[in-house]
Amino acid sequence: MNISHRQLKAFLLLAQQRNFSRAAEQLHIAQSGLSLMIRELEGQLGFRLFDRTTRQVTLTQFGAEFRAVAEQNVKRIEEIVEQVGRSAQRANTTLSIGAPPLTCSYLLPPVVAAFEQRHPGVRLTVVDTDLPSVSSMVRAGHLDVGLGMFIKAAPGMLRQPLFHFSLVAASAAPKFQLARSPRSWSALAGEQFINLPFDNPLQQLIDKNLALVGHEGPPRFVVNFIETQIGLAEAGRGIAILPSTAVPACRGRGIRLEPLGPPLVELEFYELRDRGRKLPPCADDFCDLLKRSIPRAVRGG
């Protein structure tokens, strides 16, 4: 016996409509095709399912009994197909996140762990690269979401703030210290600095504030990554002005961090997306997890 799902669906629809013409129309087949399908089903079962007259079609006693069985089987098959389809959809869902190395090293790991527990079927990719590359990869479609301090707006990009951060001055100390009292920008005039490249938007903002308090002269070092700034500051090679999101990277090291102000400089940590791309809902969940995680990481809670 080789009864198909299509035959069962046709039988149930005919039992409901009690009319070959209407049932065939809903199945998008010819009436003769439906008649043949029902005859083949009856032949496989070994009993008649319908009594046919010129006016209507009615179920036989055996047809009525078979209808209950057919309904259960069709419902079960469709439930299984739907369930497997959802599983397949989850298995085919991917999410790619890009961020600078500091963010990937110190802010993302607990978020990745929490996300994968909540979305075990999603294939998550994390790309650690410099900030300009993150922005370029989002624009090119190689990343779904970019994360970082995207200070300058990018055309065609959707930029959403996740977290407010400020700036801190990092200098060498016997052990890690996070000062409560701020250090004014004017108190930094004349110090030796460990800077990021001059074309870095964050460094440009820092240089602007230092110029306002009369600081002149070249930096002691110019490096590409905040991690290098932290290492040189710990070695006593100068002062590094860092975003407060770097606090987790300084814990456990010989670094003293002092909040900077007045003036207080408040900035944003952003998620960056391509305006024209539709992302899976799990992208929003990842960013929500990060939004809740960053303040705890910076505070050390």
**Which pLDDT band, with edges at 50, 70 and 90, does 149 fall under?**
confident
Confidence at residue 92, expressed as pLDDT on a 0 to 100 scale: 60
pLDDT over 70 (residue 300): no
pLDDT, tens digit (0-9, with 9 covering 90-100), for 21-51? 888 999 889 999 999 999 999 999 999 999 9
Q: What domains can you pick out in the chain, each with its CATH number?
A: 5-90 (1.10.10.10), 94-163+269-299 (3.40.190.10), 167-259 (3.40.190.10)
At 85, list the tokens.
């389809």
Most confidently predicted of 46-60, 142-156, 224-238, 255-269? 224-238
195-201 long-range Cβ contacts below 8 angstroms, 24+ apart: 195/219, 195/221, 195/222, 195/223, 195/229, 195/240, 196/222, 196/223, 196/224, 196/226, 196/229, 197/222, 197/224, 198/222, 200/131, 201/149, 201/151, 201/152
- The 3-state DSSP class for residue 243 equals strand
pLDDT, tens digit (0-9, with 9 covering 90-100), for 222-235? 999 999 999 999 99
H or E segment and range at residue 128:
strand 123-128
pLDDT over 60 (residue 212): yes
Confidence at residue 281, expressed as pLDDT on a 0 to 100 scale: 87
In angstroms, rounded to a whole number, what is the distance separating the alpha carbons of residues 271 and 202?
16
Amino acid, single-letter form, for residue 136? S
Residue 83 or residue 274, greater confidence: 274
Tell me the mean pLDDT in the region 264-269.
89
**Which pLDDT band, with edges at 50, 70 and 90, does 91 fall under?**
low
